[in-house]
Structure 1
Amino acid sequence: MSSASAAHRAGRAPGAGHRTGHGAALRHVLAHLLTPLLMCVGMGFAYLGAFATPAPHALPVAVVGSGPDAQVLAQALGDKADGDLAVRTVDGRDEAVRQLKERKIFGAYVPDGHGGGRTGAGRAGRGPELLIASAGSDTTAAAVQKVFTPVAAHAGAPLAVTDVVPPSGDDPTGQGLFFLLVALSIGSYASVAVIGGAGAALPMRLRALLAVAVSLVVSLIGALFAGPGFHLVDHGLTGVWGMAWLYSAGILLIGTGLHTFLKRWTTLGVMVLFVMLNFTSSGGVFRPELQNGFFAALHSFWNGAGFVEGARSLVYFDSNGLGGHVWTLVLWLAVGVAVAGVAWAAEARRTAPAPVPADEAARRQAEDEELEEALGV
């Protein structure tokens, strides 16, 4: 008897079993395609929302000079910018350089003959000068130049640009630390899928230890890239490595703990946290002064910003503000430890034997006593 005849006698159309199997497989594939489609939507919203229309928002800049001319110029710039600039005056060129190195301002305009101080000696009569610190952000430095070039042109003189904190010679755009962040992040959150999936049978304490060990390896790879590999940093490599380990360990512990609850949605979850919201708010491409309020707010406490700004502070800005950025990374690591601890407790409850009700326990005890009597024990 043919299979089609057997299917017909059983009340099924020929090929119905195959169609049913294909339908189930198709539904399974479509359900799993939801994750990459959500990633596509999320990445589009995050990257375009953060990077598509950069514009200054209360960008701190300064005009050098203490006289009425400097005050009038600063007031005129502030009024014309309509909130895009936060313009102040500083007494001399030396003070402007100090504030640039402390990242209190991101550009300082020195009118002709108003340099003042030791570092401004000899500039009188040589035209206006713009001081920038491009190691802090190449895009911010470009935005500052765009603001002050017309001011110099209006004065009828070419604008001399002085970069008081240039980036490393092997990292001319200053964005190498951001790409290092990308490498550390991918190594970290991709390892979460392996530890959570292939290591699902392991107890949480071993998975957590594995996460810390993997983060050490990821951070060492990052240090090799930053130092001998691409010469992104010429000093402070040990500190950059330490921050890389803190950063990677936080991601791995958070992701490993979340896997207990999110399961197959873990990849999407860690991508939202450590790609979509993280890369966009890190300050590696645009600092918060050039972004909208949402990403600017994230920059103040997100872990990617902690690493990028901490590394910049250590390598280029004499460690100004370094402590706050390190504390940001430590707090994210503490969150990772807490999430892993919650996951460990949840898994322990799932595997614990169900408690026996009191009446059931009494019944069992009575049965045991009857059996002992029957056996003469």
Structure 2
Amino acid sequence: MPARNPALRHVLTHLLTPLLMCVGMGLAYLGAFAHPEPHHLPVAVVGSGAEAKVFAQTVKDKAGDALDVRTLDDRSDAVGLLKTRDIDGAYVLAGKGAGAPELIVASAGSDTTVSVVQKIFTPVAAEQGEPLKVTDVVPTVDDDPTGQGLFFLLVALSIGSYASVAVLGGAGAALRMRARALLVVGVSGVVSLIGAAFAGPLFHLAHTNLWGLWGMAWLYSAGILFIGVGLHTFLKRWTTLGVMVLFVMLNFTSSGGIFRPELQNGFFGTLHAFWNGAGFVEGARSLIYFGHHDLARNLWTLVAWLAVGLVVTGIAALAEHRRERTTPARHAAPAPAATPASPVAAAPEENAEENAGENAEENAGEDAVEEELEETVGV
């Protein structure tokens, strides 16, 4: 039946993309978020003498590979390691005769990680017959109590960026690659300004360093757009699926915005080390909360993705130029000579044919953009 009905075959072919997106999103999101559990979560036990070492070894033996436990002599050392994000929690042993055990955390690094650390050490304190005191040395701003606002900012920037790929790749296909590249710079600048407005005056996610966050958003958005526009030359209507895989399925899940890599399986934990979403989220946390610690590495991650985008766009430009040179020029068939009896009647026919050709090209471009946008927004 489909072979005999071109319209139905066209619909079924286009349904393949959203179905593949459904499968991909399910595998990615459920694989990354459905069963979080700690893997080598770095924590510390603060105390002196043999008692602290024995306690730390006991915790390690019970936790197995879930925790990486070290011992520290001073509480100030633990606070310093939390502020440099070398550990995710520090359990301070109670003093002899008085006092309660204390758990030191930095919730700005990850609220879900703090919850896991508390679940681990609350029963430990209960076994000692003492309530657990929790101290947050790097809290989030009051306007973003869970610290996940930066993740949702990432989502907004990503959607604005990869959805624009459909327009620049479809409607912009008639433009030279240089013109499309200039549009990418402009569009990514606008997307980043929208993101800065969300993070600053609208939702107050960033009480400081707003312009630095805007610059990071521009780098992030430009990287996605350059990669997407470059890929469109080769993937055509499959570009939407390609950018969804790169910048949604693999990107959101490995960004660390919901669960840090210590709570995920090895695949997404490995992606976190170099994927662009992780570079933005962790860079924003470093910029706003952790005194710019490790900011340079995250910036270089974003710069590397932008460089990849420039390379892909450059390759696409060369491919298009070569295609134009090798494709034989299409010459219109010579129009029949007008007879002396009807020199004026031929003009309307020529104008009608010319207008029909222009309208066909324009409608084809609009249809291509609409199809890609429907597939993008539909997800």
Aligned-partner Cα distance in 1 for 2:95–2:213: 41
Count of aligned residue pairs for this structure pair: 328
Deviation at 1:20, TM superposition (A): 8.4
Q: Does 1:27 align with 2:40?
A: no
The residue identity in structure 2 corresponding to 1:281 is S
- After the TM superposition, which segments of 4 or more aligned residues of structure 1 sit over 2 Å from their partners? 19-22
- Quote the Cα distance in structure 2 between the aligned partners of 1:86 and 1:173: 25
1:55 aligns with 2:37: yes
- Pairs within 5 Å for 1:173-212: 173-212=146-185
CA contact (8 A) 2:3 2:9 kept: no
Alignment partner, residue 70 of structure 1:
52
Is residue 279 of structure 1 aligned with residue 252 of structure 2? yes
- Normalising by structure 1, we get a TM-score of 0.85
**Counterpart of 1:208 in structure 2: which amino acid?**
A
Q: What per-residue deviation string (whole Å, max 9, x for no partner) do you get for residues 185-228 of structure 1?
A: 00000000000001110011111111111000000000000000
Residues 214-256 of structure 1 show CA distances to partners (whole Å, capped at 9, x for unaligned) of: 0000000000000001000110111110100000000000000
Q: Give secondary structure in 1 for the equivalent of 2:129.
A: coil
Residues 66-121 of structure 1 deviation map (CA, whole Å, 9 limit, x = unaligned): 3111101111111111110000011111000000000000000011128xxxxxxx
Match of 1:107 among 79, 89, 101: 89
Amino acid at match of 1:35: T
Amino acid at match of 2:113: T
The structure with the larger Rg is: 1
Change (3 A) 1:207 1:73: same
AA in 2 matched with 1:46: A
Quick one: which of 291, 311, 314 aligns to 2:264? 291
Where does residue 139 of structure 2 map in the other structure?
166
Over residues 122-159 of structure 1, what are the superposed CA-to-partner deviations in whole Å (9 max), with x where a residue is unaligned? Answer: xx822001000011000000000000001100000000
Residue type matched to 1:129 in 2?
Answer: E
SS at match of 2:65: coil
Once the two structures are superposed, what CA deviation does each residue of 1:247-276 show, in whole Å capped at 9, x if it has no partner?
Answer: 000000000000000000000000000000
Separation (CA, whole Å) in 1 of partners of 2:54 and 2:293? 31
1:63 alignment partner, SS class: strand
> Is 2:61 the partner of 1:79?
yes
Q: Deviations over 1:165-194 (max 9, x none)?
A: 010100000000000000000000000000
What does residue 203 of structure 2 align with? 230
SS at match of 2:256: coil
Deviation at 1:22, TM superposition (A): 7.1
Show the 5 A alignment for 1:319-358: 319-353=292-326
Gaps of at least 5 residues in structure 1 are: 1-18, 115-123, 356-377
Percent identity, please: 72
- Aligned partner (choices 190, 208, 212) of residue 217 of structure 1: 190
Letter in structure 1 aligned against 2:291: D
1:353, distance to aligned residue in structure 2 (A):
4.8
Local SS of the residue matching 1:82: helix
1:23 CA displacement = 1.7
Partner of 2:76: 94
CA distance in 1, matches of 2:312, 2:198: 30
Bigger mean CA deviation after superposition, 74-83 or 282-291 = 74-83
- Tell me the SS of whatever aligns to 2:103: strand
Partner of 2:101: 128
3-state SS of the aligned residue for 1:62?
strand
Q: How far, CA to CA, are the matches of 1:353 and 1:299 in structure 2?
A: 42
Kindly report the root-mean-square deviation, in angstroms, between the aligned alpha carbons of the 2 structures: 1.4
> Quick one: which of 295, 300, 303 aligns to 2:273?
300
Contact 2:157 2:195 in 1 (8 A): yes
2:284 match: 311
CA distance in structure 1 between the aligned counterparts of 2:59 and 2:212, rounded to whole angstroms:
40
Tell me if structure 1 keeps the 8 A contact 2:2–2:8.
no
TM-score (norm 2): 0.85
Amino acid at match of 1:104: D
Amino acid in the other structure paired with 1:84 = A
User: What amino acid sits opposite 1:288 in the alignment?
Assistant: P
Measure how far apart 1:309 and its partner are: 0.1
Amino acid at match of 1:73: F
In structure 1, C-alpha distance between the alignment counterparts of 2:95 and 2:285, rounded to whole Å = 32
